Structure 1
Amino acid sequence: MTTTPTGPRRDGRDDEQHPVLTEKEDAAQRGADPAGSVGATTRPSGDLADGWTPSDHLAREAGELAAEIGREHRPRREDVYPYLLVRAASPGDRGARPVWPPVPCWQSPDILLMDAAATGPFDPTQLVGSPTAGRRYRVFVRVWNLGLLPAVGVHVRAWFVDPGFFGGATGPAYTPQLIGGAMVNLDDRTRPGAVAVVELDRTWDIPETLTGHECLLASVSCPLDPWSGVLDANADRHVGQRNLTILAGSDDAKQLLWTLGSRVTGTLELVHGGATVGPLVRGVLGDTETELGVPERLLPPSPRALRHGVATPTGQHLATMLRTRDGWLVADSERVVALATELGLVGRDGGKPRRGRRDPVAPDVAGLAQKLAPEHAERLGVLVDGEPGDALLEGLVRLWDVGDLTAGGLAGALAEGGPAAHLLQLAHTDPERQEAGGYSLVLLG
């Protein structure tokens, strides 16, 4: 092989030009001789060797890689199809389910009522918070499309159910009654028409035999985003639920509390909703002032002003009602945690009752009450050998030293200081079907 020096390099070595090759040397280096060597122009046949089997390890890795790529690049549901929603709560609901716990699923701000005597278009200054038996109401449902595709042929419907803790399963205790329906089209989420307040084709005529405290439910569905058909607001964004009564001053709460207590078949937890009362009532009533008066009446009490309860992630836990072998027990939450701390069921530091803030590591008060009730029922609260409705009333009166079961009487028993708005949330769990539901009372002192 002959090279021609071109002169010294800076590192002291001689630089070299490409070698001058003979035809045979060039063919050898290109791989044409022998055939199949590196750089050969003759390609292999590609046939598998006899007895070859695929590697399970490589196949598994390839499958995992494909699945990972699919997840990374799979578009979100709302970016391809309509994404219908009736909110369970406000603010912040974008359709993720379930919401309870910690956010009650029965406080929808999207089911709205106007007295039938109010004519004309939807008017947020004419909304009704507490309907009355024997009257007629126009029913509106606010529906949303959070998808990037318009929703065509949207079917909106609404029902009412007897007061209680309906959680989606029909039965003798809860049978939904259809109020009416309507059809609408919604734009995609980039346009103002993605949300609409839809009036049903029929009014809700409340018979004198009902209470006016009935639970309201609404559904939304379209061909590209259908509703499952189950009225479960905690599991399905297509369903909204409004189990809410607003009581003020001398309004009687006794009958409603007795009715709710009579529906208890498992465990009932009473929680003070604190500052969430304002957004809830404004969502349901908008700018209405005829029922609530001045806006200051929606201010909640200071957390430190509450007379009862233990701070938990869902709010100030006040009491737990459950069945024991000796009757119904209405257990005070502070007593439950104090006894559990004494017996070593919770840490002495982490288990101390604390007011003034929600504690994400607070103990499960209802769970502790169930553990302690068989042996320590009398130390936990009020034990009543009778009907559950009577037990709830007697338990609250004795635990909270309530003078009278009016909105003002209960508000005064719950907190010190002047008038305030209280959100009392009653959450029910059925031990047989594991269903959860709830009902909320707004008490304006």
Structure 2
Amino acid sequence: MPRKDEFPPIISRKEDAAQRGDDPPGAFGHDTPANGDLDPNWQPNDDAKNAAEGFIKEFGRERRPHREDVYPYLLIRAYSPGDRGARPIWPPVPCWESPDILLIDAAYTGPFTPAQLVLSPTAGRRYRVFVRVWNLGLLPAIGVHVRAWYVNPGFFGGDPNNPAYQPHQIGGAMVNLDDRSRPGAMQLVELDETWDIPSDLTGHECLMASVSCPLDVWGGVLDANNDRHVGQRNLQILAGADDAKALLFGLGAMVTKAGTLELVHGGAAVGPLLQGVLGKARTEFGPVARLRAPAQKALRHGVPMGAAGTHLLTMFQTGRGWLVADSARVWALAVEFGLVDAHATRRRAAQGHPFATPLATRRLIEKMGADRFDKLGVVLDADPGEALIEGMMRLWDAGGLTAKDLAAALAEGGPYAHLLRFAHTDPERQDAGGYSVTIVG
């Protein structure tokens, strides 16, 4: 039991009120209660607020992690090598040369092997469709939905309202992908349905594929240039005696009245493209790894643009018909008229050649005037498909339209692999796209 001096002292109510702060009422050591009004001399000071906001912004910029370090980061490559999902890429990098959409004839029922890959699909046949999908994120991707479509051959740029390029679904599949630190971050997925090409199609159709999962959702538009969830293969590989006439006619026919078609030789880019699509497969000209492009100076036509390739021709509709203009003639006449400075262009090579910008050649041609069209190329009163074929044969003095004929017209010697990139731009539709043809001969 505590002693008497250990008990709290007994005080009066007045002393208790003073200790509790009720003397005077509502005050704590003050003579008068506070009324809550601001000091009349008070001025706002934003220094503390501004300092706090600056700290938050600086901290957020430095500390905010990359998306792929937190969530799944799905990808179907647009090109190879080096594609890590940055979009858009065209121009200058084509977005329609995906190495991740692959075909094998359905007559082969074994496991996937590059030796069975199909170079040029044929109308009336059936093909197994494989899509290579990637997860570059540090979180596994669960419930990944892979789908594929075919689209009419041409210059599909992602505009869903263009009636000429309506997609037709082939099939789909569901998979799970590991995070990027594990081998399972990449999978080659076979779709649940084969691509049965109707006999009334060409076999040159564009192939599109998408990948999506709950934590990294595809937006729903088949636009490979602006969405890493979409891959596009507008690519045909022709070799030897393969006839390019039907393909070239179809591409020319898709050029719109307000559109401009430009043809560029891709140069050394053909090597990585073929290896990405065909791996180590053998062709009639030997293993893919041995196929090489001609040196830029060995090409018989066009204007060299450095790493951007060689600009070959430009085609668009005029009041007299379709103009198919030779790029070398356009450049020579533009230099003569002082519209371009050849010496300055060589000095500014690192900044890119003027012809590397879409529609640059057309603008120069229009500046030089319609009375000089015949000096720049050929003007043909024909359908656009016929105009493209006739223009190429006249400008290149080609003996025919087989892969071997075209390869011989482009460069002497060989066999060489040529990457021809047809790019179409329509300002009225605000649409741009392309189709690539690889010629080996």
TM-score, L = length of structure 1: 0.84
Contact 2:280 2:289 in 1 (8 A): no
Residue type at the aligned position of 1:115: D
- Greater mean deviation of Cα atoms: 332-341 or 61-70: 61-70
**Is 1:132–2:122 an aligned residue pair?**
yes
- Give the counterpart letter for 1:97 in structure 2: R
Check the 8 A contact 2:248/2:388 in 1, yes or no: yes
Q: 2:375 is paired with a residue of what secondary structure?
A: helix
* Residue equivalent to 2:234: 243
Aligned CA RMSD, in angstroms, stands at 2.4
Distance 1:66 1:344 in 2: 54
- Is 2:149 the counterpart of 1:159? yes
**Aligned residue pair count:** 399
Any idea what the Cα deviations from partners look like across 1:308-332, whole Å, max 9, x if unmatched? 1112252111111112222211111
Spell out the pairing of 1:208-247 with structure 2 (5 A cutoff). 208-247=199-238
Matching of residue 147 in structure 1 with residue 103 in structure 2:
no
Match of 2:296 in 1: 303
Deviations along 1:383-407, whole A, 9 cap, x unmatched? 1122111111111111111110111
| Distance in 2 between residues matched to 1:120 and 1:255, nearest whole Å | 32
- Do structure 1's residue 179 and structure 2's residue 170 form an aligned pair? yes
* SS across alignment from 1:281: helix
What is the deviation of 1:58? 7.6
Contact (CA 8 Å) 1:297, 1:421: kept in 2 or not?
no
Q: Aligned AA for 2:134?
A: W
Q: 1:68 to 1:247 in 2, by over 3 A?
A: same
* Cα distance change on mapping 1:369 and 1:295 into 2, 3 Å: same
Q: Residues 1-16 of structure 1: matches in 2 within 5 Å?
A: none
The reply on whether 1:285 has 2:275 as its aligned counterpart is no
* Number of the residue aligned with 1:17: none
Q: Is the 8 A contact 1:82 1:147 kept in 2?
A: yes
Alpha-carbon distance in 2 for matches of 1:434, 1:64: 41
Q: 2:319 aligns with which of 311, 314, 325?
A: 325
Deviation per CA, 1:358-390, whole angstroms, max 9, x where unpaired?
Answer: 764311364243342343322221111221111
SS of 2:433's partner is strand
2:439 paired residue number: 443
Tell me which amino acid in the other structure corresponds to 1:177.
H
Determine the C-alpha separation between the residues in 1 that align with 2:228 and 2:72: 13
Corresponding residue SS for 2:237: strand
Larger % of helix: which?
2
Residue 181 (structure 2) pairs with residue 190 (structure 1): yes
SS in structure 2 of the partner of residue 75 of structure 1: coil
Q: 1:262 aligns with which of 250, 253, 269?
A: 253
Identity %: 67
Q: CA deviation at 1:333?
A: 1.2
SS of 2:72's equivalent?
Answer: coil
Q: Deviations over 1:252-307 (max 9, x none)?
A: 10110010001011011101111111111121112322565344762111221111
Corresponding residue for residue 25 of structure 2 = none
Runs of 4+ in 1 over 2 A off after TM superposition: 45-69, 290-297, 311-314, 358-361, 368-376
- Cα distance between partner residues in 2 of 1:195 and 1:246: 26
Q: Following TM superposition, by how much is the alpha carbon of 1:425 offset from its aligned partner in structure 2, in angstroms?
A: 0.5
Does the 8 A contact of 1:87 with 1:95 survive in 2?
yes
* Separation of aligned partners in 2, 1:50 and 1:258: 85
Q: CA–CA distance in 2 between the matches of 1:58 and 1:342? A: 65
* Residues 173/59 of structure 1: CA separation in 2 closer, same or farther (3 Å cut): same
CA distance in 2, matches of 1:81, 1:54: 43
User: CA separation of 1:156/1:210 partners in 2, compared to 1, >3 Å: closer, same or farther?
Assistant: same
Determine if the alignment matches structure 1 residue 344 to structure 2 residue 324. Answer: no
Structure 1 gaps of 5+ residues are 1-44
User: Structure 1 residues 384, 51: CA separation in 2 closer, same or farther (over 3 Å shift)?
Assistant: farther
| Conservation of the 8 A alpha-carbon contact between 1:179 and 1:202 | yes
Q: Distance in 2 between matches of 1:324 and 1:105?
A: 29
Partner of 1:314: 308
1:363 aligns with 2:359: no
Secondary structure of the corresponding residue to residue 341 of structure 1 = helix
SS in structure 2 opposite 1:277?
Answer: helix
Cα distance between partner residues in 2 of 1:186 and 1:408: 43
Q: Which runs of 5+ in 2 are unaligned?
A: 1-33
The correspondence of residues 400-411 of structure 1 with structure 2, limited to 5 A, is 400-411=396-407
